[in-house]
Amino acid sequence: MTDIHAFLNAITIVLCVAAVTTVLFQRLRQPVVLGYVLAGLIVGPHVPIPLVADQAIVKTLSELGVILLMFYLGLEFSLQKLMKIGSTAGIIGAIEVSIMLWAGFTVGQLFGWTVMESIFLGAVISISSTTIIAKTFSEQRVTGRHREIVVGILVVEDLIGIVFMALVTGVAAGSGLTAGPLLLIIGKLVLFLAGVIIGGLFIVPPMMRSIKALKRNETTLVASIGFCFAIALLAQQFGYSVALGAFLAGSLIAESGEEKEVEQLVEPVRDMFAAIFFVSVGMMIDPSVIAQYWSEIIILTAVVIVMKFFGVSAGTFLTGVSMRTSVKAGMSMGQIGEFSFIIAGLGLTLNETGSFLYPISVAVSAITTLTTPLFIGASGPAANWMDRKLPKPLQTFATLYGSWIEEVRARFENRKSVGPVQRLLRRMLLDALLLGVIVIGTSLSMESIIGAVSGTLDVSVTMLRAGIVLTAAALAFPFCIGIIRVGKKLGIYFARMALPAKQEGRVDLDAAPRRMLVVTLQLGSILLVGLPLLAVSQPFVPAIPSIGVMVVTLGILAVVFWRSATDLQGHVRAGAEVVAAALNSHAHGNTMPKSGEERLSEVHQLLPGLGDLVSAELSSGDPCIGKTLAQLNLRGVTGATVLAIMRKNGGVVAPKASEQLQQGDVLALSGTHEAVESAKQYLRSANEQQS
């Protein structure tokens, strides 16, 4: 049992030093998380300062910080909200984790590490730190769609991490990667989640409402935290992380409708133990390890920041989220944390990795802990900069793509549309599965086939190996073509839902947007299937051929994508002229005058590929008057674009960034429904460019 004096000594040193560093960093206007990490470095065993806290005690207390942070995060995300963003987060998580697994394995091989060490490295850098993100979001008051998407991705990452840990444990125990153990692992996870959620929905909301009726804050606080620890302990008993259990507990309490009061009560307790968690991270920083493996640490830090940004941003945008929110989500997740420590520690326990992986993981986590608040704070200006630097065709595409996906989702609510999509997805997944079986099976059976055949054929081993590879490639080729064809069919199906084709004999005015959407969705479907396949098969095949096939495929689609984007830009220019003509007709009046909204509605029916069309008339009190479109950065801030401006002296088609807004201007805005409404509100409230 821990000596009470040692416990008191440890917590006194940690909190007092953390208090000093926190005040210092607040004075310097820096994130307090950095102050906590510095405090951990000071009280840790690796720096010669006579203020050393017991690392075991601090680590135990830090676990409470993880549990309470996850519980608090769960309070903000009811199960209904999680279900709403589940498909989006699943797609993004699959793309991002696949990219990180591939990047980690490739870097590990370049370092000269073993196959298993490279696999573990890929898993370590795949899982972002929920604790660091939750604390930074709380400090910087990050809310809205950005926060929802990031939390959804974090939940998906944790679930993938749980499956990975169970798989590698099975491999180390000798059961291998056979279908039976894999299905058993996934089945147990599904049963656990279903049991906790279904049972909790019957018990927790009524229980919380009855406790709330007592009108005693301490009772509500004790009951809530007690339930949180109970579910966290239950998750641990089933072999899952306490963080997952705590998050589920918070989500169940959120279903009762009493989450706001519980948040206020839990917040002070959460902040104290969260501080101890970040101090514990700082205590694990060993300057001697950083000095020994400094090159690997720098490379891995760069890989984590860059590749996670790319994976999350690309995946988020493909799901129809605005480019601004996609960039902000990508810049929020460039770190690794507590789950990565667990995976690295598991590799050490199973004797599958060298002793160097754990301290390297801690060092990368410590560095990315320092950079995360900075990147999240700079994500708004970075999104604005990226929007300005994009070529004009890509700017136009980024504005309209979200409105097309919005239309697909609206029509997809019709259950008749689900059947064909499910059949196509099953075909694509079957092709991918068979392709994976051929690739991995050929790799695993290569030596046995050579041994069986070499005695009967007078052929060199090199020729036999080449023949087996060519045979496998011939068998795999139809399935590769099948994935590409099914991806195109999916793209066509969804594109016709968003932009129905005109009847035969009529001019198809939406051909360019539809073609653009087909190419984009085909590209997205290939990424969604191809990247996980690449990540899973990379330990069994040479990296260059597999990457080469993916690069060639994506390169061809990229060329088609650019040509389609250029055609789309011409289509939008023509559409802007139609919009300007409609507004011009409204301005000059006729025998049957119509409002600007009515005329834009007519244009939208004629050209639905232009997204939601809304007019916004500027009055004398609007703060945007006298500012240019570049100063307002309307598209970068809201995701909506100005197709045309109508003035008393005539319309301005496709206005330039230097166009100055004037009183009485009528702006034709295009984008998703959320974007155009946000733009209208922004025009009436923007005094300065938003970050």
pLDDT digits (tens, 9 = 90+) for 502-531: 656 566 667 788 888 888 888 888 888 888
Residues 177 and 323 in one domain: yes
For 351, 592, 594, 667, the CA distances from 585, given in Å and listed in that order, are 76, 11, 9, 14
The more confident residue out of 109 and 462 is: 109
Which domain-ending residue is among 360, 389, 418? Answer: 389
On whether residue 484 sits in a domain, the answer given is: yes
Mean pLDDT of 341-347: 78
Residues 521 and 585 in one domain: no
Residues 142 and 84 in one domain: yes
Give the pLDDT score at 306.
Answer: 92
Residues 48 and 125 in one domain: yes
In this structure, are residues 382 and 345 in contact, taking their beta carbons and an 8 Å threshold?
no
Give the pLDDT score at 416.
Answer: 60
Give the pLDDT score at 603.
Answer: 66
Mean pLDDT of 343-355: 78
Lowest mean pLDDT among 320-324, 340-344, 457-461: 457-461
User: CATH number of the domain that 629 lies in?
Assistant: 3.30.70.1450
In this structure, are residues 646 and 668 in contact, taking their beta carbons and an 8 Å threshold?
yes
Residues 496 and 639 in one domain: no
Q: How many domains does the chain have?
A: 3
* 97 phi and psi angles, rounded to 5 deg: -65, -35
Give the pLDDT score at 606.
Answer: 62
Give the pLDDT score at 598.
Answer: 64
CA distance 102 to 543: 10
Give the pLDDT score at 670.
Answer: 81
Give the pLDDT score at 504.
Answer: 60
Nearest residue to 340 via CA among 356, 368, 362: 362
Mean pLDDT of 627-655: 75
Pinpoint the alpha helices (H) of 53-143. 55-75, 79-110, 115-124, 130-140
pTM score, whole prediction: 0.80
**Average pLDDT across the chain, whole number:** 80
Give the pLDDT score at 503.
Answer: 59
Q: Which two tokens stand for residue 377?
A: 């704070």
Residues 498 and 613 in one domain: no
Give the pLDDT score at 205.
Answer: 85
Residue 542 reports pLDDT greater than 50: yes
In this structure, are residues 648 and 664 in contact, taking their beta carbons and an 8 Å threshold?
yes
Give the pLDDT score at 612.
Answer: 74
Mean pLDDT of 449-463: 74
Residues 541 and 671 in one domain: no
User: CATH number of the domain that 40 lies in?
Assistant: 1.20.1530.20
> Which residue segment(s) compose the domain that 449 sits in?
405-553
The more confident residue out of 366 and 20 is: 20
Q: Is 672 left (phi over 0), alpha (psi -120 to 50) or beta?
A: beta
Give the pLDDT score at 490.
Answer: 84
Residues 244 and 101 in one domain: yes
Which domain-ending residue is among 389, 420, 446? Answer: 389
- Collapsing DSSP states into helix, strand and coil, what is residue 409? helix
Mean pLDDT of 344-368: 81
Q: If pLDDT is split at 50, 70 and 90, which confidence band does 688 have?
A: very low
pLDDT digits (tens, 9 = 90+) for 436-447: 888 888 877 777
Residues 122 and 210 in one domain: yes
On whether residue 467 sits in a domain, the answer given is: yes
Give the pLDDT score at 174.
Answer: 53
On whether residue 565 sits in a domain, the answer given is: no
Q: If pLDDT is split at 50, 70 and 90, which confidence band does 684 have?
A: confident
Q: If pLDDT is split at 50, 70 and 90, which confidence band does 166 have?
A: low
Give the pLDDT score at 480.
Answer: 84
Residues 244 and 125 in one domain: yes
Give the pLDDT score at 592.
Answer: 46
Residues 600 and 653 in one domain: yes
CA distance 95 to 189: 21
Greatest mean pLDDT range, 85-89, 352-356, 379-383: 379-383
Which domain-ending residue is among 491, 521, 553? Answer: 553
On whether residue 563 sits in a domain, the answer given is: no
Give the pLDDT score at 303.
Answer: 93
Residue 367 reports pLDDT greater than 90: no
On whether residue 398 sits in a domain, the answer given is: no
Mean pLDDT of 648-675: 75
Give the pLDDT score at 591.
Answer: 44
Residue 675 reports pLDDT greater than 70: yes
Label residue 244 exposed, middle or buried (CB < 10 Å: 0-12, 13-18, 19+): buried
On whether residue 561 sits in a domain, the answer given is: no
Lowest mean pLDDT among 242-251, 316-325, 452-461: 452-461
Give the pLDDT score at 307.
Answer: 92
Residues 537 and 668 in one domain: no
Give the pLDDT score at 627.
Answer: 84
On whether residue 461 sits in a domain, the answer given is: yes
On whether residue 315 sits in a domain, the answer given is: yes
Please report how many Cα atoms fall inside a 13 Å half-sphere around the Cα of residue 457, on the Cβ side: 14
pLDDT digits (tens, 9 = 90+) for 568-603: 888 777 777 777 776 666 555 544 445 556 666 666
User: What percentage of the chain has pLDDT greater than the value 70?
Assistant: 86
Give the pLDDT score at 304.
Answer: 93
